Amino acid sequence: MKISLKLLKAIKFATKTHDVYQKQKRKGKDISYIVHPLTTGLCLSQANADEDVVIAGILHDTIEDSVEHKKVTPEMLKERFGQKVADLVMSVTETDKKLSWQERKQIALDDIVSFSKESILVKSADVLSNNYELIDDYARDKDKVFERFEASKEEKIQNTLNVIAALIKNWPENPFREDLDYVAEQFRLMIN
């Protein structure tokens, strides 16, 4: 895929949302948050996803994580990047941050059943970006890494396994299948 102005605009938009407006960091680390959406987009690019899917991967947390005075809305994404990108971002967005971690994760898990293949790609790349990083951190810091989350180690691991199972069930030919299976196996090892 060649780099387009639309893709560069998405990178700039995500960087402003996560880094410029709130100096957001990865949980428990001094690493800029923007690394995660860019990694998600890179994963999608490696899977030969079309440009709008890659852009949705880069923007996937902008609505969920934007601050009130610079709130990102589906309408903003539609205006700047088109309806398809806005719909894909919304499909993977947790919309009610007031709910408990457990409630939000259950709703997100339940939503996977109705995902399009493109939404499955975005969610899969998001899961892989987050959890390859967690696996790497776990190798160094063991159970301490789970202190970063609003859930116990067991809840976090079970949720990840449930999400991976739902993604694979919804689309067994998912191009990320091998990677998802690897992450699931690594998480099962963390339990033992």
110 and 170 both lie in a single domain:
yes
Give me the domain span that covers residue 131: 101-191
Nearest residue to 15 (alpha-carbon basis) of 61, 50, 51, 83:
61
For 97, residues 6+ apart whose C-beta sits below 8 A from its C-beta are: 64, 104
Tell me, what's the pLDDT at 1? 53
124 and 72 share one domain: no
Q: In this predicted structure, what is the pLDDT of residue 78?
A: 98
Look up the CATH number of the domain holding residue 43.
1.10.3210.10
CA atoms within 13 A on the CB side of 74: 12
Task: Report how far residue 142's alpha carbon sits from residue 17's, in angstroms, rounded to the nearest whole number.
Answer: 31
Question: Do residues 77 and 108 share a domain?
Answer: no
pTM equals 0.96
Q: Write down which residue in 91, 125, 152 finishes a domain.
A: 91
What is the number of domains present in the chain? 2
Mean pLDDT by 10 residues, the chain (192 residues): 85 95 86 96 97 98 91 97 98 93 96 98 98 96 94 97 98 98 97 82
Give the pLDDT score at 97: 85
The predicted pLDDT at position 2 comes to: 65
Would you give the DSSP letter of residue 142? G
Angstrom distance (rounded) from CA 95 to CA 7: 25
Question: Does the residue 96 lie in any domain?
Answer: no
Predicted local confidence at residue 93, as pLDDT: 97
pLDDT in tens, 100-116: 999 999 999 999 999 99
CA 3 to chain centre: 22
